[in-house]
Amino acid sequence: MYHINEIVKNNTLIPSILAEADANDYIINIGPQHPATHGVLNLLITLNGETIKKVEPHLGFIHRSMEKMCESLSYRQFIYVTSRMDYLSAHINNHACALLVEKALQIEVPERAQYIRVIMDELTRIASHLLWWGAMAMDMGAFTPYFYAFRERELLTEIMEDTCGARLTMNYMVPGGVMQDPHEKFQHRVTTEFLPLLKSKLHEYEELVTDNIIFQNRVKDVGILSKEDAISYGCSGPTARASGVECDIRKLYPYDIYNKVEFNEVFETAGDSMARYLVRMKEIKESVSIIEQLIDNIPEGDFQAKTKAVLKLPKGEFYQRVETARGELGIFVVSEGGTTPYRIKFRSPGFSNLSCLDHITRGSKIGDLVASMGTLDLVIPDIDR
Amino acid sequence: MFIVEYLKEVTNAVKSLATGMKLTGYYFTHHKEIITQEYPDNRATLKMADRFKGEVVMPHDANNEHACTGCTSCELACPNGSIKVITKFDINADGKKKKAVDQHIYRLDMCTMCGLCIEACPTDAIKMANTFEHSVPDRNMLVKRLNNNGSKIREGVE
Amino acid sequence: MISFENIVKWIQAFLSAHLPHIWVLAVEAVIIIIAAIALFAILGLVLVIMERRVAAFMQIRFGPNRVGPWGLLQSTADTIKLIMKESIVPDNSDKFLFNLAPFMVMIPAMLILAPINFAKHFFIWDLNIGILFVSSISSISVIGILMGGWASSNKYSLHGAMRSGAQIVSYELSGGLSILTIIVLCGSLKVSDIITAQETGWWIFRGHIPAIIAFVIYMIAVTAETNRAPFDLAEAESELTAGFHTEYSGMRFALFFLAEYINIFIVCAVGATLFFGGWMPFHIGTWHAFNHIMDFIPSSIWFFGKTFFLIFLIMWFRWTFPRLRIDQLLNLEWKYLMPISMVNLLVMTVCAIYHLHF
């Protein structure tokens, strides 16, 4: 085994954690290839036995320079790139881009399209939370929930596939509406197949994971993030709401028809991993209720507004935020009046949520790090674009 | 009482574990719940969604005619340059020159199935096919020419 | 009637008729070694395929069903693959210990086979301290794990090995205490005596609630001792990738893998012997007709049936529960299992002294 000082001596490009480490520190690399990181995230953790002294996340393993890439794409084309950011809420990312273009060009979106978009968003949110649930349980060492979650998610992706033609990166939203009218069986399948199935299986999730004593002990009072810290780290979405921060963009800055539907913003106050878990589980139920309100009331009309073939944004700066499954996604575009953005910036929820990881895991065990990371719901391409 | 609480804790813990085991036990004994599709075996019955975006194709009718005018809208709409339309000039009956497609080159290996080309096409000459078995031994085979040999544009398509 | 007992007797008679005494022993030893290794190989293959199928059905999928009939040859194919793979030895590792470790895990597992009664009067060596022998030898396997973890020169491996050490050492206590509760009942450490004592009924039925509590604690303790989920902290893949065998590949890894399954078989065989009467058929009091039918089922089937039922239980645990954290694992042992099994032992002793059991 190499001594830590040797590594420091022989390496000029050393992470700060190694530079600061003293000779007795026990440093472990979690990732970039590691089962718990769900992708290529590298965590340098300093250990004292089982106890974590410091966590330092390292990014850059999946950097695809998306912002730069979008600068060379037209306003119709750059939407599809954002599906690859947070691939679990691809619809919602696309939605944000479409909204931004519509806001800049003042395109009136038909009401039918707005309904379809919101339903799709909420279906995506359910799909994302289901996958998170399975993956988080797998981090905790329970393999079976993963398959149960995928059973419901599979039906959801099939419904998506019927309408959008793809299962993960749908690319369904376009400026001015949606690309195609929903499949004629869309409403029928959601109301008679998916929603009853999900509702009948939600109790299984509780029996298998939520109520399980081992699971509860693993997540209760683990990775506590206080309200103040959640705000100062810029956390958003379920992560912040678990600490009691009011930050649901759907409520605060409603877009499309979110101001017409009735739903509750889910809160927990404990701020621990259990609270984050419960917020997401309750959000599934809230999403179900939103879909139930909308699915039978989709108005007739066009699914797409008439837009010009070539979109040119007026000169200026535009910002649009939406609530993805992980939190607040902001898109900022500087336009010079051309067909492509001059500069584009994504404010992704995962990056801010990851930043609190060191804070919430210091002094806890390695198992707690895995639990905290699982409940933060990290999607690495979202953190590192 | 400490002892009572201790025992209550233990029984509740055991109960919560038993409910979990009951659930997995249920699925262990009920094989009808299995959702796995045995893919290569169920090829005959496997039906993809109508709109599934598998690859871009150019439908030809019985007379080997297509609807592509060679306008290159799809090429311009494609975000990652997977379409290249090579045009030529046909001389029609009146002796006038007319732009037409020579080769419609489609690179499946670069395509992300976003469907923007289909949206952009003014004459509905291309569409998404719902095929999905795309694996080939050589990646050059993924570069496809969409218009058939000797095909020409359908009458009346402008 | 063909039974294992008769086969053994026939072989012994055949050998003693032709060979001097010392050669008879030698030949028998060779036969036993071959039989033990064969049993190991078969058990490994069977248990791996069983685990995968059990996991698959619990997870609403089919599991391996392509190689051979119902996928039964899948584990054979996997073994062939593992044999052909290169066994990589890391550069900085302690080569000698690294190579020795898999055998240090396998050999204790083989030794424990000696006192187990596989069928009526069919065993390798029914020594009079059989159960003590089992529990003492089974603690040796932790040395192999520590050795492998240390020699790998990998931080994950070392961490996993250390966890495993703490875990196995502490869970042996409650495991041992729950074994003791049954020893108190039958008053002998000899495996065949323990089984004969259960002729009128298995201890789990005759020993009132203390026997059931002892059984539950025994199952938890052995799950932990064999490093199985939910106690698989030594190889917790979401924390330590693969724990102590991170650096092992090819056949060396397969030996660790095999040893895990053999250990499961052994602890379940001991559990079946202690609580379910080993090869003893299921008898109900004075229902002579029923008892007679039960006697027709060969004793080896009874033994393996019970053992595989317990193995299934352990697999069921694994595919249902999330993993514990290391401090919770030790809390569970020292704050719950240990005190409960001590009180349980006391209650059982009182029962045994006053002959309160059935």
pLDDT digits (tens, 9 = 90+) for C141-158: 888 888 888 888 888 888
Residues 6+ apart with CB under 8 A from B89: B97, B98, B99, B100
- Mean pLDDT, residues C334-349: 86
Q: Is the pLDDT of residue C251 over 70?
A: yes
Q: pLDDT band for B38, please (50, 70, 90 cuts).
A: confident
- Taking CA atoms, C78 is separated from C41, C99, C241, in Å, by 13, 22, 21
Closest C-alpha to A180, from A200, A202, A161: A161
pLDDT at position B8, please? 87
pLDDT at position B120, please? 85
> Rounded CA gap, A135 and A157, in Å?
17
Touching subunits of B (3+ CB pairs, under 8 Å) are A, C
For each of chain A's 385 residues, which pLDDT tens digit applies? 455 556 555 555 555 656 666 667 788 888 787 777 777 888 888 888 788 888 888 888 888 888 888 888 888 888 888 888 888 888 889 989 888 888 888 888 888 888 888 888 899 999 999 999 988 888 888 888 888 888 888 888 888 888 888 888 888 888 888 888 888 888 888 888 888 888 888 888 888 888 888 888 888 888 888 888 888 988 888 888 888 888 888 888 888 888 888 888 888 888 888 898 999 989 888 889 888 888 888 888 888 888 887 888 888 899 988 988 888 888 999 988 888 888 899 888 888 888 888 888 888 888 888 888 888 888 888 888 8
Contact B21, B30 (CB under 8 A): no
At B66, give phi and psi (nearest 5°). -125, 180
Contact C90, C156 (CB under 8 A): no
Q: A-chain residues within 8 Å CB-CB of C321?
A: 141-142, 212, 214
**Are B22 and A166 a contacting pair at CB < 8 A?**
no
Contact A36, C238 (CB under 8 A): yes
3-state DSSP assignment of residue A304: strand
In chain B, which residue's Cα lies nearest the Cα of A72? B79
Q: Is the pLDDT of residue C42 over 80?
A: yes
Q: Considering C54, C84, C114, which residue would you say is the last residue of a domain?
A: C84
What total of structural domains would you count in chain C? 2
pLDDT at position B31, please? 83
A55 touches C: beta carbon within 8 Å = no
> Rounded CA gap, C346 and C4, in Å?
39
- Taking CA atoms, A92 is separated from A238, A252, A327, C91, C265, in Å, by 15, 17, 11, 49, 51
Domains and CATH numbers, chain A: 4-58 (no CATH), 66-383 (1.10.645.10)
Q: Are residues C62 and C152 in the same domain?
A: no
Domain B55-153 has CATH 3.30.70.3270: yes
Q: Are residues C117 and C191 in the same domain?
A: yes
Q: Considering C61, C84, C107, which residue would you say is the last residue of a domain?
A: C84
Q: Are residues C244 and C323 in the same domain?
A: yes
When CB atoms are compared, the residue of B10, B25, B36 closest to C316 is: B25
Residues 6+ apart with CB under 8 A from B83: B56, B74, B75, B104, B105, B106, B107, B117
A183 touches B: beta carbon within 8 Å = yes
Write the secondary structure of chain B as one string of H (helix), E (strand) and C (coil): CHHHHHHHHHHHHHHHHHHHHHHHHHHHHCHHHCCCCCHHHHCCCCCCCCCCCCEEECCCCCCCEECCCCCCHHHHHCCCCCEEEEEEEEECCCCCEEEEEEEEEEECCCCCCCCHHHHHCCCCCCEEECCCCCCCCCHHHHEEECCCCCCEECCCCC
> Rounded CA gap, A203 and B20, in Å?
11
> What amino acid occupies position B23?
L
Tokens found for residue A372 = 């905290």
The tens digit of pLDDT for each residue in C51-102 reads 888 888 888 888 888 888 888 888 888 888 888 888 888 888 888 888 888 8
B45 touches C: beta carbon within 8 Å = no
Tokens found for residue C3 = 């039974």
Portion 88-127 of B in contact with A at CB < 8 A: 112-116, 119-120
Largest CA distance in chain A: 71
Contact A142, A215 (CB under 8 A): yes
Q: Which percentage of chain C shows pLDDT scores above 90?
A: 0
Q: Are residues C331 and C192 in the same domain?
A: yes
Other Cβ atoms less than 10 A from the Cβ of C182: the count is 26
Q: Are residues C71 and C106 in the same domain?
A: no
Touching subunits of C (3+ CB pairs, under 8 Å) are A, B
> Rounded CA gap, A72 and B34, in Å?
47
Does any domain span residue C19? yes
> Rounded CA gap, B70 and C302, in Å?
79
> Rounded CA gap, C154 and C256, in Å?
17
> Rounded CA gap, C210 and C202, in Å?
14
Residues 6+ apart with CB under 8 A from A129: A280, A281, A283, A284, A287, A325
For residue C119, list its beta bridge partners: C122
Tokens found for residue C354 = 């006053």
B17 touches C: beta carbon within 8 Å = yes
Q: Are residues C72 and C115 in the same domain?
A: no
More confident residue, B93 or C48: C48
Q: What angle do CA B63, B66, B72 make, to 5 degrees?
A: 160
Q: Are residues C144 and C265 in the same domain?
A: yes
Does any domain span residue C307? yes
The tens digit of pLDDT for each residue in C111-123 reads 888 888 887 777 7
Closest C-alpha to A374, from A127, A144, A36: A36
Q: What is the DSSP letter of A184?
A: T
Q: Is the pLDDT of residue C285 over 60?
A: yes
Q: Which helix (H) or strand (E) holds A28?
A: strand A26-30
> Rounded CA gap, C91 and C71, in Å?
38
Question: What is the extent of the structural domain holding C74?
Answer: 1-84
Contact A335, A316 (CB under 8 A): yes
- Mean pLDDT, residues C227-231: 82
B27 touches C: beta carbon within 8 Å = yes
Closest C-alpha to C215, from C157, C174, C258, C257: C174
Q: Are residues C229 and C309 in the same domain?
A: yes
Interface residue of B30, B34, B82, B114 to substitute, partner A, most A CBs within 10 Å: B114
Q: Are residues C223 and C338 in the same domain?
A: yes
Q: Is the pLDDT of residue C252 over 80?
A: yes
> Rounded CA gap, C318 and B21, in Å?
10
> Rounded CA gap, A99 and A91, in Å?
12
For residue A316, list its beta bridge partners: A335
Q: What angle do CA A107, A111, A117 make, to 5 degrees?
A: 90
pLDDT at position C186, please? 81
Cis peptide before B79 (omega within 30 of 0): no
> Rounded CA gap, A146 and A279, in Å?
19
pTM of the complete model: 0.87
3-state DSSP assignment of residue A107: coil
Q: A-chain residues within 8 Å CB-CB of C160?
A: none
Closest C-alpha to C79, from C214, C253, C260: C253
Q: Are residues C186 and C138 in the same domain?
A: yes
A268 touches C: beta carbon within 8 Å = no
Q: Are residues C316 and C218 in the same domain?
A: yes
Does any domain span residue C358? no
